[in-house]
Amino acid sequence: MTQTALIVGASRGLGLGLVAEFLSRGWTVIATVRDASGEAALRALAGSGRLTVRHADVTSDADIDRLVSEVPEPLDLLFINAGIMGPPDMLSASVEEIDRVMRTNAFGPARLAWALMDKLREQTGVLALMSTGMASIADNTSGGYDIYRASKAAQNMLARSLWIGSARARGVTVLSVNPGWVRTDMGGPGGTIDVETSCRGMANQLAANAGAHEHRFIGWNGRELPW
Ligand SMILES: NC(=O)c1ccc[n+]([C@@H]2O[C@H](COP(=O)([O-])OP(=O)(O)OC[C@H]3O[C@@H](n4cnc5c(N)ncnc54)[C@H](OP(=O)(O)O)[C@@H]3O)[C@@H](O)[C@H]2O)c1
């Protein structure tokens, strides 16, 4: 039986890498981009005969409603990858900049996940949200990038509420995933791993955790992170 994944925020970086990884594993993949300029790299992937591209901005309620109406069911995996770093300094950032990071990284993904929950396959479906090691309060020993950290910590909290309020009853596993420090536009050239390594590792962890019936905070390498 072919498995189906919806990967949200797939124009480049880790989202594009996840699409490539799941296509290489024989999955049917629905990938979202924000506009047509994000489609070319996806269309060039091997296995793109099993790929459908949709448009969605996670901060738009209209886009969320349209995506929900377009996506078939059941989904074996919903991976919400979309995210932005935002300004490094909280004190000099504008309210609008802070709001954009919170809506893109936390509330948009959570609202989309709630809207799509009924499409996830019961008992074995997985909802993954792209978190980060920087979301861990226990691991925050350096500070910095506080808007980003706070937005992803909020995402982790919203994911827990989503698991309690919706996913658990369906048997859907919820994973808050740390991809590692990856060489992408966001991660920069100093990242310790490449996109392929991170995405292969994350896909292995998603497979290993399907059916776990929990909400876990895990890394691409299987390491469990402290909240
Ligand atoms: N790279 C790292 O080291 C690292 C580490 C920890 C966590 N992460 C997380 O991993 C995810 C992907 O990061 P990346 O390194 O691949 O970053 P990236 O190369 O900057 O890619 C970000 C992706 O998110 C999409 N996106 C941004 N805002 C969106 C919105 N409002 N609606 C829908 N899509 C949106 C972008 O689409 P456009 O092309 O349209 O802008 C792009 O596809 C993020 O959530 C990030 O926080 C990355």
Q: What separation in Å is there between the alpha carbon of 1 and the centre of ligand 1?
A: 30
Average pLDDT, stretch 156-160? Answer: 98
For residue 144, what are the contacts with CB-CB under 8 A and spacing of at least 6?
88
Distance (Å) from CA 213 to ligand 1 centroid: 27
Between the CA of 83 and the centroid of ligand 1 the distance, in Å, is 4
Model confidence, pTM: 0.98
For the chain, what percent of residues have pLDDT higher than 70? Answer: 100
Query: Which has the closest alpha carbon to 139: 226, 13, 68?
Result: 226
Domain boundaries, the chain: 4-219
- What CATH number does the domain located at 4-219 have? 3.40.50.720
The per-residue pLDDT of the chain, averaged, comes to 97
Cα–Cα nearest to 7, from 52, 41, 47: 52
Question: Could you read off the pLDDT of 43-78 as tens digits, one per residue?
Answer: 999 999 999 999 999 999 999 999 999 999 999 999
Task: Tell me: pLDDT of 187 over 90.
Answer: yes
How much is the average pLDDT of 209-225?
97
- Mutation pick for ligand 1 pocket among 32, 59, 156, 186 (CB with most ligand atoms within 8 Å): 186
CB-defined site of ligand 1, < 6 Å: 9, 11-15, 34, 38, 57-59, 81-84, 104, 130, 132, 179, 181-182, 184-187, 191
CA distances from 138 to 135, 151, 172, 225, 226 (A): 9, 16, 26, 9, 6
Task: Report the residue among 6, 7, 12 best suited for mutation to probe ligand 1: largest number of ligand atoms under 8 A from its CB.
Answer: 12
Taking each helix axis from N to C end, the angle separating 13-24 and 195-209, rounded to the nearest 10 degrees, works out to 60
What is the 186 CA–ligand 1 centroid distance (Å)? 7
Sequence-distant (≥ 6) Cβ neighbours of residue 100 within 8 angstroms: 59, 84, 86
- Which residues, 6+ apart, have CB-to-CB distance to 169 below 8 Å? none
Q: How confident is the model at residue 165 (pLDDT cuts 50, 70, 90)?
A: very high
For ligand 1, pick from 79, 81, 101, 147 the residue to mutate: most ligand atoms within 8 Å of CB.
81
The band of 195, judged by pLDDT with boundaries at 50, 70 and 90, is very high
Specify the ligand 1 atom closest to the Cα of 180.
5
Is 90 exceeded by the pLDDT of residue 171? yes
Reported confidence tier of residue 1, pLDDT bands at 50, 70, 90 = confident
Instruction: Report the separation in Å between the CA atom of 132 and the middle of ligand 1, taken as the mean of its atom positions.
Output: 11
